[in-house]
Structure 1
Amino acid sequence: MPSSLPSFDLQLDQADLQELERDVWNNTSVPAQLKIEDDAHDIHIRYRGSYTRELEKKSYYIEFAKEPGSYESPEMHLNAESLDPSHFRNKLSLDFMRELGIHTPESQHVFITLEGEPLGLYLQLESVDEIYLKKRNLSQGTIYYAVSDKADFSQKGKRGLTSGYQRKLGHMEDDHTLIHFIKRINSPSTFQHEIPRLLHIENYLRWLAGAVCTMNNDGFTHNYALYLNRRDQQFSIIPWDYDATFGRRVNGDVMEWDYVPITGKTKNKLTTQLMKRSGFRKRYKNILEEILETTFNVPHLEDKVMSLHSSLRPYILMDPHFQKDIDVYDREPSFILQFIKDRGAYLRKELRYL
């Protein structure tokens, strides 16, 4: 086995494995042991994700039984990336967003076995939690996960204004701040004055530019986290789950390079309101011009794409779910690079309308 990727071995009792498989939608964890290199850890494990739970190769959510150190997260996400033919779009996208100055979860590919038998190649994703903030020297605060498409910053079609959000960290009273934020987004007369107080504008516009470049159609209304900095009472946005990017839909089908407009998805009320105002739109245009010139182009990204492809290829050949699809895997780098070229040309043309 090539030695460049970390290796994890899962060990489960047969009865616990059968309990997991009995109902893939059950979020109850079962006990197990995870061996990381030479260290064994007692854990609780369950399936994670939505549409991916019914696939043969599933993603996992892990909680460590032992209290971790002060800079170690008590949980781990292992993504199967089953519907991404490249198996690295998520990492490529999150690393790209980090280059734009956005805080993003760390990610690394790992090879997992179950009782010594190959499960396959996985992407280990850092959890966005209290430890995430500590590692980045960010102030204490509240974290909300956007878990459904109700997290679109609108007031319509909801049982409550916190619909679509799951509070990962913080207190119930923080929900009032989120509700106030969403109300202000939906108040056109005070938006221009109020929103810069409540939102880290530069962070949001850079996130928007990154989401538009990578064309993460899925991430405008969910698959992100909101971080409320308790010190300045401003919200920032953190990207999450960027596998449906670089020209592929969530099911792996092709998404044409002009599918998402330069101003983002209109269902996102906050984005729509920002783009209606010339000052915010002008700053967004400047950010996008800078990114297209320096970061989102083939010369900058080609080496990253080819390096990820070549480093993961031996593990694709060992993955029992995808080893027969190596020809598909080998065609994907050229697909991604062509998308970058086409998407970049489209966005440069559309800049005139901002």
Structure 2
Amino acid sequence: MKTFFIEMSKKDLKKLHQNIWEEIYVDALLTIDDKRYDIKIGLRGNQLRKRKKKSYHIIFQQPYLVEGHHEIHLNAEYNDPSLMRNKLSFDFFQQIGVLAPSSKHIQLAINDKYEGIYLAIESFDQYYLKRRNLPEGSIYYATNDDANFSLYTPAGTLKKSLMDGYTTKYLFQGAEHLKKLLVIINTYPKEKFGEEMRNVMDIEKYLLWLAGVVCTQNFDGFIHNYALYHNSKTQLFEISPWDYDGSWGRNLHGEPLDLEFVPIRGYNTLTARLLENEQYKQMYRKILEKILQEYFIPSNIQPQIEEMQYAILPHYKEDPYINYKKKTFKNEKTFILQFIEKRNRFLMEQLEILT
């Protein structure tokens, strides 16, 4: 496991930690494997900014790109006793054919103070596309719960703008594509909706993503914690997951979730409308059934869990912010595998709802 060494002035470090709700970035130096990089660094995330163990957003300055990356995210994984739910989720989405960021566990030190185990996550941006030889395209982040594909907020009030809930990460051909998508979702009648959606969204990839969210039981994933990519070659939207520490049987606070908490149909306006269409509903059923039979099973996930635990375990006790016992960490393997087995059985029984 690599160690990231970050150096910055004491004044700048104090500024970051005293102004946790402000989007402040300071100059710093990052060293990895004896290679040094000039960076900007700021805090990231929302729920965990008050915690002692912070999550960070790194932007490379000199050089501008490092192994094809301009940005990386360092997640503290503070409320996840396994320290692996995010990575397990991203790897799972990649397995089933959904665009998802790659990630790896690292150790972090800031000004010679050991900060513990982190998950380094690649940014979903234009450079993500280049590294995978994907066509250029606009990228939008779903930055709050208003990104529910509706004209109304989750509280039921009319949005001020179609773009409420979204932050533009990279603009390639203008935001009209996203506005058009939202108009179709919210205004087209049932008889025109199914046909028109084929022209604006990759339906199969959306349903693969939906199945992934339903399996991993990420409650926030339907109206938050995702990115939209408009593929300039196909002219279709694709969707990618983000921030999945609240998954695999626990919520974002690390508390266990009931198996029934996330329904098989998921929730958000787009999903509801797609599953009203008989063709798309049956497509989703087949996709989900295949995933439940081949991917979302203990025998597929167990080797990944064991590989991550093997890498993390030698450094586990050194993390100054982990206040639970090593036994708790080890037991998460059993917890996650039992969740998969029970959730799989539950969803298999629920497939009848989609017939």
- Inter-partner Cα distance in structure 2 for 1:182 and 1:250: 28
| Structure 1 position 331, deviation (Å) | 1.7
Who is 1:96 aligned against? 92
Q: Check the 8 A contact 2:68/2:131 in 1, yes or no.
A: no
Which consecutive segments of 4 or more residues in structure 1 shift more than 6 A? none
Who is 2:339 aligned against? 339
| Structure 1 position 325, deviation (Å) | 3.1
- Look up the equivalent residue of 1:196 and give its one-letter code: R
Who is 1:223 aligned against? 225
Q: 5 Å matches for 1:136-155?
A: 136-155=132-151
Who is 2:14 aligned against? 18
- Inter-partner Cα distance in structure 1 for 2:61 and 2:2: 21
Residue 246 (structure 1) aligned to one of 245, 248, 252:
248
SS at match of 2:107: strand
Who is 1:74 aligned against? 70
- Look up the equivalent residue of 1:347 and give its one-letter code: L
| Structure 1 position 69, deviation (Å) | 4.2
SS at match of 1:133: helix
Show structure 2 runs of 5+ residues with no match.
153-157
TM-score, normalised with respect to structure 1: 0.95
Residue 106 (structure 2) aligned to one of 100, 103, 110:
110
Q: Check the 8 A contact 1:262/1:347 in 2, yes or no.
A: yes
| Structure 1 position 169, deviation (Å) | 0.5
Do the aligned partners of residues 70 and 57 (structure 1) sit closer, same or farther apart at CA in structure 2, a change above 3 Å counting?
closer
Q: 5 Å matches for 1:62-211?
A: 62-69=58-65, 72-156=68-152, 157-171=158-172, 174-186=174-186, 187-189=188-190, 190-211=192-213
- Inter-partner Cα distance in structure 2 for 1:89 and 1:158: 33
- Inter-partner Cα distance in structure 2 for 1:330 and 1:193: 49
- Look up the equivalent residue of 1:31 and give its one-letter code: D
| Structure 1 position 67, deviation (Å) | 4.0
SS at match of 1:83: coil
Who is 1:320 aligned against? 320
| Structure 1 position 257, deviation (Å) | 1.6
- Look up the equivalent residue of 1:161 and give its one-letter code: L
Who is 1:291 aligned against? 291
- Inter-partner Cα distance in structure 2 for 1:32 and 1:70: 15
SS at match of 2:167: strand
The RMSD of aligned alpha carbons is 1.3
1:169-219 per-position Cα deviation (integer Å, ceiling 9, x unaligned): 115x62222111101011233211100110001110000011101111111
1:105-135 per-position Cα deviation (integer Å, ceiling 9, x unaligned): 1100000112232100000000011110111
Identity among equivalent positions (%) equals 39
Who is 1:33 aligned against? 29
Who is 2:155 aligned against? none
1:74-107 per-position Cα deviation (integer Å, ceiling 9, x unaligned): 1111000001110000000110110001111110
Who is 1:237 aligned against? 239
Q: Check the 8 A contact 1:71/1:131 in 2, yes or no.
A: no
- Inter-partner Cα distance in structure 1 for 2:248 and 2:341: 11
SS at match of 2:149: coil
| Structure 1 position 240, deviation (Å) | 1.1
Q: Check the 8 A contact 2:60/2:66 in 1, yes or no.
A: no
Show structure 1 runs of 5+ residues with no match.
none
SS at match of 2:138: strand
- Inter-partner Cα distance in structure 2 for 1:70 and 1:110: 16
- Look up the equivalent residue of 1:121 and give its one-letter code: I
- Inter-partner Cα distance in structure 1 for 2:18 and 2:305: 38
- Farther off after superposition, 183-192 or 29-38: 183-192
| Structure 1 position 10, deviation (Å) | 1.1
SS at match of 1:197: coil
Q: Check the 8 A contact 1:316/1:323 in 2, yes or no.
A: no
Do the aligned partners of residues 197 and 139 (structure 1) sit closer, same or farther apart at CA in structure 2, a change above 3 Å counting?
same
Q: Check the 8 A contact 1:70/1:131 in 2, yes or no.
A: no
Q: Check the 8 A contact 1:151/1:221 in 2, yes or no.
A: yes
Who is 1:309 aligned against? 309
| Structure 1 position 231, deviation (Å) | 2.3
- Look up the equivalent residue of 1:140 and give its one-letter code: E
SS at match of 2:325: helix
- Inter-partner Cα distance in structure 2 for 1:67 and 1:191: 47
- Look up the equivalent residue of 2:133 and give its one-letter code: N
Who is 2:330 aligned against? 330
Do the aligned partners of residues 57 and 70 (structure 1) sit closer, same or farther apart at CA in structure 2, a change above 3 Å counting?
closer
The count of aligned residue pairs is 347
